[in-house]
Structure 1
Amino acid sequence: MKKVKVLISGSGAVLGYGATKLLNQYRGIEKLIVANTSKYFPARNYSSEYIITPDFYFEKSATEDEFIEFVLHFSIENGINLIIPCSIFELKAYARNLKRFNSWIAQLHVARELGHKTACHIY
């Protein structure tokens, strides 16, 4: 199985559950990065060799659109293969800004290869 770099983002409560569920199901993950607009990361409380303590988070409150913009830039710069948004607000923000983000998304391979039902496949 090809090793992939995954970025999982969204609300803190869903984040911890989603990250651990993902890690329990798939072992093809080279690196998992957790992103959230909150300072609280339940995912860091789970012990797993695949969990990476979050490399970043916003100290300030960001709008969903600002957060999505940041996530897309970060993903492109860091070779992320899969983005898993874990909040309905994020999914709506992606949909709302699809045209605006289209040039960045074109550079980013985001797919459902891991079969996670919340994976966001953006064309």
Structure 2
Amino acid sequence: MKTIPFSYLLKIFSILFLCTTFSFSCSGDDTKKADSNTDLAKLKITTKQCKEPWLHAEGNTLENKVYNYLKSLNIELKDFENITPKDIAMCEACEICSGPTITIKVDKTHVDRLIKEGFSLMTN
């Protein structure tokens, strides 16, 4: 019986290790990347203070409240950004002062419904 040199075995195991590692690193779930640009729409809303549609939604942060509000509409929030100016004046006159300004990304199929809720579609 002929023995196989150690250096040959080491090369074989190295190649197998690299192939296995590469195949695991490439087998991840890429569904988010595929959805991230083509099927999403970006919308914006600036509400009046105390008139936000998510006002009574559960959550201890603005993002959580918006997430839960959209969830109640059967809409999945894909991205959230609070773009409220830092120098916004807040007061008790709810009908006068602006509330937060936010942008969200959701599936394009929900655009019409969110426009009815007061959002506007953003380009770019």
TM-score (norm 2): 0.29
- Which has the higher Rg, Structure 1 or Structure 2? 2
Higher RCO (Cα < 8 Å, 6 or more apart): 2
Which protein is richer in strand relative to its size? 2
